[in-house]
Every structure is written in C-alpha cells, then in structure tokens.
Amino acid sequence: MAVERYPRVEIDLKKLKSNVKNIVDRCGAVGIDVAGVIKGCNGIPEAAVQFAAGGCKYIASSRLEQIEAARKAGIDKEFMLIRVPMLSEIVDAIKLTDISLNSEREVLEALNKEAGVQGKIHQVILMSDLGDLREGFWDKDELVACAKWVETDLKNLKLMGVATNLGCYGSIAATVDKMEELIALAERVEAAIGRKLAYIGGGATTSLPRVMEGVMPARINLLRIGEGILLSRDLPLFYNCPMDFMYQDAFTLKAEIIEIKDKPSHPVGTIAVDAFGRKQVYQDRGIRKRALLGIGKVDYGDPGDIFPRAKGIEVLGASSDHTIVDVENADREYKLGDVLEFDFNYASIVYATNCPNVRIVTI
C-alpha cells in the first residue's frame, strides 16, 4: 500500500456542498443570486464543482488560472472575474470568463475590443467604492457617465449592474446604509440608461449578516461569497452572526509529527532573533512534552492561524518548515509519525491550498 504523505489539506466534499447549498438557499429566499468565490481554496477544481452543484449562479475568482482549471473540470456555469482585470490579461479574461467587475474606462475599452475580436459579448459590472478604498469608482458622477458610455458605445459589452466591495482593505461594514447608497447609485444609472439593471451586488461574506437579519434591502440581488461558504468562521467570530447551520470543518489541515521529546520551554543561551529575523518572547513553563511537525510557515503563513482540533494541544511557534506544538496536556499520548489535525482560518487556508508541498485530498 502506498504510504500517505503529509502535510495535506483534506476536503470533505459533502460538507462543502452542504455549506454552498445553505448559503444559496438563504440568499435565494430573499431573491439574491450567489457568485461562489473559489479563490479562498486556490480554486481547487473538486471544490469548485461543489460550488456549482450547490447552486451558485456564477463561479467566481480573482485569478484566471483558477477559472481555467474550473472550466477544464467541466463546470457548466458562467464564470466571473472578481479582481478588476489587468490590461495584460484582457485576452484570457474574455476567453475564460463571462462577466467581470470593472472600474477603469481603459480596461472596459480593451475588453470591448477583445470581445469583438473573439466574437463574444462580455458582461460587466461597474464597481463603486463606498469607502473601503480598494477597487471601484470613487466619484459617483464618473460611474454614471461610464455606465452610459458602456451602454451606448461599447457594443461588445453588456452592462449587467453595479456592485461594491466592503470589509477588505478599509474594514468597512456592509451596513444597510451602504446598501441603500449603492441602490441609489444603481437607480441613477438606470435613469441615465433608460432601463433596469440586472444586478445590484451588495458585497461579499461580510454582507451576509444583513441577509440573516432579514434587513437586506430588496433591490440587492447579488452577493459574491467565499469565506462564508468555505469556513464560515469570520461571521460568528468578528460580526456576531451565528452560523450554526454551517460546517466549519469542511477543510482539515493534517501534519505529521517528526520529533517528539521533553524539552525546556524557554530557549537556552543568548536570545537573538528567530528564523524570520523577529524578536520573540518565550514563556518559561519548565520541561514540557513538545512535538515537532513537518509543516511550517511556508505552508500556511502564521502559526497563529492554525487551530488544533484535539484538546490540550497548543501551537508554540514555527519556522519555514517546522511547527512546534506543546502536547504536555494532550488527551492522549502522541508518538512519532502520528498526524495532528488543524482547523483553518481564511489566511491559512489560502496559503495552504496554494502551497505546492501540501497535498490536496478529497473525501
């Protein structure tokens, strides 16, 4: 029998699909389509397939490579590019996606031209920056004028709507006020172009609490959801929004013990800096049983972003390729070769699923 290699990310596809369906159903009940955002797990095709099977209207990613892989996996959905396109990726954006989020006239012009070359109609959503200060038109008059220009002059583009992004750079909450502001802007666009827009996109996972609370304004009819489906950790943790109906353990990080010994908890010698040049503080708790794992920062980022499933285990720290955990108070006796399981947060799942040394396994 082949030896199972570690570290690995294990994906429970049934739990993931259940998560997708739960969000799609709750949004659908109030007239909201879901663009399922697959970038949080590097767009792993087996996971992307669950986003489609669970009923997402669009399969969305910031990265064309992931969309290409999802297409190759045979997913029969429309694909949405959610990072405003680079001028250098216009050809592939038209080839691989059906709809994109946009904030620059020059890009829209290039998309229009390339869509013409490829004989396609490409759908666009114009982004409004409502204060989070990442992508989007800041000047609302400029967005309205741009919408009118797309509508009348760019024959190979179809203006589908307006949308916003919140809670990313500027940490701005998706309040009902922000939603109303977006709807008012959409209605200005509608007045300018003389028709209704198909979509008003009210943001991402951080907008879900408004849906749960039943206060999402009726005209918001599109959300782009990633973390809320993959892990559903951030909403209960940071937004006081219980998500008990979701699996938070659809993804598991597994790492192998490569050394297990009793050692002092405080380093011995002159303290300088760690492997990454940082000054660290160490607590002296005497001699403790510590396990060394064959996984490190290269694989998941920050050791504070992985969470042992078993009780009594504590992550002490890490270097590039090693993680040190205290197992002194663990429920069971660990030995060399044992495998420890961890939960992710958004940061660690993004890194782990993007790391070529971490195997991806589905169950």
Sites of contact with ligand PLP (CB under 6 A): 37, 39-40, 62, 82-83, 101, 165, 204-205, 224-228
The pair phi, psi for residue 163, each rounded to 5°, is: -155, 170
Least distance (Å) from ligand PLP to the CB of residue 20? Answer: 12
Least distance (Å) from ligand PLP to the CB of residue 62? Answer: 5
Handedness of CA 60, 88, 71, 156 (dihedral sign): positive
DSSP output for 155-216: TTEEEEEEEE--SSSS-----HHHHHHHHHHHHHHHHHHTS--SEEE--SGGGHHHHHTT-S
The nearer residue to ligand PLP, 96 or 313, going by C-beta atoms, is: 96
Catalytic member of 17, 39, 77, 297: 39
On whether the CB atoms of residues 343 and 253 are closer than 8 A, the answer is yes
Give the residue at shortest CB distance from ligand PLP: 226
Least distance (Å) from ligand PLP to the CB of residue 165? Answer: 5
The nearer residue to ligand PLP, 101 or 179, going by C-beta atoms, is: 101
Least distance (Å) from ligand PLP to the CB of residue 83? Answer: 6
57 catalytically annotated: no
The nearer residue to ligand PLP, 28 or 116, going by C-beta atoms, is: 28
Check whether the bond before 264 is cis (ω within 30° of 0).
no
Amino acid at 201: G
Which pairing describes strands 122-128 and 99-102: parallel, antiparallel, or unpaired?
parallel
Secondary structure (3-state) at 349: helix
The nearer residue to ligand PLP, 34 or 325, going by C-beta atoms, is: 34
Q: And the tokens for 146?
A: 């741009």
Active site members: 39
